[in-house]
Structure 1
């Protein structure tokens, strides 16, 4: 018997939700598949994120239902609603009546659903604990196989009594066990999968590691400040290029790098204004006379507010700083408007590349290829901008 269509749709939506969440927090990877038809899934349990990992990794066609502690997840109406709607949870009493709760899912199993249980009964501290018999009795009653699953990474993503942080989650689905298996056999299968999955190292690139080490150091911050400051004066390459390189390699350093680049841009622009107001002309490669004419007209009409056009029109920040100096724009007005305009663009770009770096975490080994694509793409984009302003 096929699972009801609405349940399958809801399962698909839940899978999409948790896959998206885990992708943003470091990625989720699954190996193996559930067998056709109903089955009891038994997995190790070290984090509340285990449920999200399984909902993201298991096929929606099995419409997985998660056994949840009744005294915790169903202790209040709002918790119950959250558990049922977001985790397809059903209550299992931990003190008296729990076996009856499990056996009530027999018909669901026979209809093709996967019932997911954590036989340890509670979150552990990394090692797989002893298994209770309930999951095996349920599988035997329904006449379905037991499928061991090893989960790794969730204890780093959301440690017990800890805070959420970035980590890759891995799920390995093992071969089905007969319903007549003992708790010790099921535990051994899950422990082996967990150990094997936990021992797998994430393939990485030496180039990425070196770039990340510099980006997260004081040298990286100094480089970001100097690069952005120089670009506000004369340097032709915008700081967003540096952020595209560094923030993908070291997503956790993205906010500091972006704020430092913003500070460098503002400091460089203040120096550029002083030099331009004194009649000093610096070389400004990859700019055109039309750019300067357009910016001069904007500043004459709008004053310091003209810099708000800069994030969107492709004209380099140094052109606005130079023309603001020639027009004797008050420094305080300039600083307030430039911080808003430049800050919006710099922070958006930096955090966007950081998010991309997190999404690509599983493919870190391809970072050199990313750099090889970034160079020509940036060159082509810059060329198009310059040609459009000739």
Structure 2
């Protein structure tokens, strides 16, 4: 590495440290459950995307073991060479059925799925219209696809409509949005976005990483919440590492869409298929998610309990109906201090700071799982009240209310 490049990197690292934005991976010993051993100490974690509690489900693990015995570990090749096993084919069929679409196609990650879609559908003459708070994978996918981009105000269908009317936006048009936004947990106004897209001859793509499996009685996700089908949302992307508890991603849609992705999506064509055993495990998880509606019911009850508890200690109830429940504290230092205080009491809740979220919106990002208990949620609220009261003596909350 040249001295100039290394010097630039060191300067960037120093700036990150100075601004309190330093990140590091934690080491988890054991399965992904609420009660964990992290960095050698026991914690109660409220930071996992394992929304339905399937990551450590013994039935999912058993399916993975059976897949290992049948297929071995690695796929050994790309899907289009000889890496596409029966396990992959069965999972794609199950995902198509789960989402109510003719076909689904597996990708190794959500990043690769989003890139594959935009690179296939868009050319440099086309335009992507995307929400300003879209996930980084969608923003990067539009940049790497080389198309033109227009970003509309967050969850603002009127602003999208105005941009669709702008001169120069008459070529191929794709509206792209998260279904559930990852930092605030709010839903996109999909019915209004779908209406605007239809009116101006655009397709709508929804990245429902945080909605599928979680929202709706049957887990149909954000599209199901609004009663939208494939005619409204031609392109649906979902991930497998959240509600389904494994890893990978997929795109679901029409025969034409899926065939086009198979032929032209570089992030599908030129990468090794996911391990077949992982596909076997995910198939078991999808079936459990579809069948065991109590998981979503329990999760909804925990979300309501947390919101009521936060109100009781003088904090705003998050507007999110998803398992993502942000407590916005504003100042980066305050959010970091609150996360550190919670960790002192054995609770792991991450502080999310700029640039991941806009300036002055640093927050604690609480995520709930169907494996959490009511008592664990109560413990979180009570401990948060103590931590914030310690930072701001005289603040009202549980302690002063007693």
Fold match, TM over 0.5? no
**Structure ranking higher in helix proportion:** 1
Q: How high is the TM-score relative to the length of structure 1?
A: 0.23
Q: How high is the TM-score relative to the length of structure 2?
A: 0.23
Pick the structure with greater CA Rg.
1
**Structure ranking higher in strand proportion:** 2
